[in-house]
Amino acid sequence: MATNIREIQLKYNTQQKCLNFLAELRWGKTVTCPNCEKNKVRVIDNLKKRYFCKSCKEQFSVFTNTIFEGTLLELPTWFQIITLILNAKSGMSAKEIQRNLGVTYKTAYYTAMRIRVGMLQENTCLNGIIEMDESYFGGKYRKTNENKPDLATVEYKRGRGTNKISVVGMAQRKGKVVTKVIEKLSKRNLLNMLKTYAKQENSILVTDGFKSYHELEKYIERLEINHSKGFSKGIVHVNTVENFWSGVKNGIRGSSKSISKKYLPLYLLEFEWTFNHRFYKGNEFEEYLKNALSQEKSLEYWKAESTNQVKNIVYNQ
Ligand SMILES: [Zn+2]
């Protein structure tokens, strides 16, 4: 169900209403300490949702260890930015958020980055017919910035010694997709990804004939696409993951002109979320908040210093 921004504005129009809603989603009736997971807790300030843990003697609030931690932005605005991003089916740039809600570019940028972290779907497990295929980002330099490859230029060629970034996607037929930025498409790296996200029993992997995919047969049953003309593909295709890539390509080209290599894994999370909720019938806004609050990630992600730090957070490496 699409999240109606007008409804969100009316329903969550004060900081207090938003705080109450977050506390309810995070804990229900039993407040649990995010530091030690115990629930012997004393209320310090019920309105501000601040608590003291009798077990570990730490103070915490409903924001502790979440994407909201340390924020100076009012929650009603947060909720509106979340809604804009959820409703933008092919990505939403910080510029657009700035234009729509009148916040500064910097606020829009950092809030959107944190919101993407909240889109991380943990414990993804694909089964049945699973397609695996990779895509390449970048490769051409922008005129305005000679040192940064333009990620909106997506090419499908497999090339070594280029500055393209390879991203591997796995999609369950009629199901979810998951992606990973993998610099080196070695058998070992692909196998690691497969083992992380696919159920081995009763699953079939579909790939093309790229050499590194062959080795995966030792782990899972595999079908290979025959590219020769006139050959009916039947179930042997990677259309699901190809559709996903074309959505990502259009989204990056259309809305987010300045995606850096460092943050690519976070942008991909947004496209994955959208794709994985394409048939979702429930309240997506609530579903998103629940997911974001359940992660208890530290703050490092949105001011991450390196590409590896971002990858650690997204891929739990
Ligand atoms: Zn505690």
Radius of gyration of the chain (CA): 21
How far does the centroid of ligand 1 lie from the alpha carbon of residue 43, in Å? 13
How far does the centroid of ligand 1 lie from the alpha carbon of residue 148, in Å? 45
Q: pLDDT at position 234, please?
A: 82
| pTM, two decimal places | 0.88
Query: What is the rounded CA–CA span in Å between residue 4 and residue 21?
Result: 17
In which residue are the tokens 């998951």 written? 178
Candidates 177, 182, 94, 99; CA nearest to 135 is 182
Both tokens assigned to 277: 């909720």
How far does the centroid of ligand 1 lie from the alpha carbon of residue 58, in Å? 6
285, part of any domain: no
Q: Residue 163's domain is classified under what CATH number? A: 3.30.420.10
For β-strands 221-224 and 204-207, DSSP reports them as parallel
How far does the centroid of ligand 1 lie from the alpha carbon of residue 317, in Å? 26
How far does the centroid of ligand 1 lie from the alpha carbon of residue 40, in Å? 8
In which residue are the tokens 């699409």 written? 2
117, part of any domain: no
In which residue are the tokens 């969100």 written? 8
How far does the centroid of ligand 1 lie from the alpha carbon of residue 131, in Å? 43
| 3-state class (DSSP) for residue 187 | helix
How far does the centroid of ligand 1 lie from the alpha carbon of residue 122, in Å? 24
How far does the centroid of ligand 1 lie from the alpha carbon of residue 45, in Å? 17
Residue 104 amino acid letter? T
Element (H, E) at 51: strand 50-53
Query: 146 CB contacts (<8 Å, ≥6 apart)?
Result: none
| 3-state class (DSSP) for residue 221 | strand
How far does the centroid of ligand 1 lie from the alpha carbon of residue 268, in Å? 34
Query: 187 CB contacts (<8 Å, ≥6 apart)?
Result: 212, 215, 216
Query: 168 CB contacts (<8 Å, ≥6 apart)?
Result: 132, 133, 134, 179, 180, 182, 185, 190, 193
215, part of any domain: yes
How far does the centroid of ligand 1 lie from the alpha carbon of residue 296, in Å? 14
How far does the centroid of ligand 1 lie from the alpha carbon of residue 35, in Å? 5
Domain region containing 198: 129-258
How far does the centroid of ligand 1 lie from the alpha carbon of residue 315, in Å? 27
| 3-state class (DSSP) for residue 186 | coil
27, part of any domain: no
- Domain count of the fold of the chain: 1
How far does the centroid of ligand 1 lie from the alpha carbon of residue 51, in Å? 10
**Residue ranges, the chain, pLDDT below 50:** 141-147, 154-157, 160-161, 299
296, part of any domain: no
44, part of any domain: no
Q: pLDDT at position 152, please?
A: 52
Q: pLDDT at position 289, please?
A: 97
How far does the centroid of ligand 1 lie from the alpha carbon of residue 39, in Å? 8
46, part of any domain: no
How far does the centroid of ligand 1 lie from the alpha carbon of residue 27, in Å? 14
15, part of any domain: no
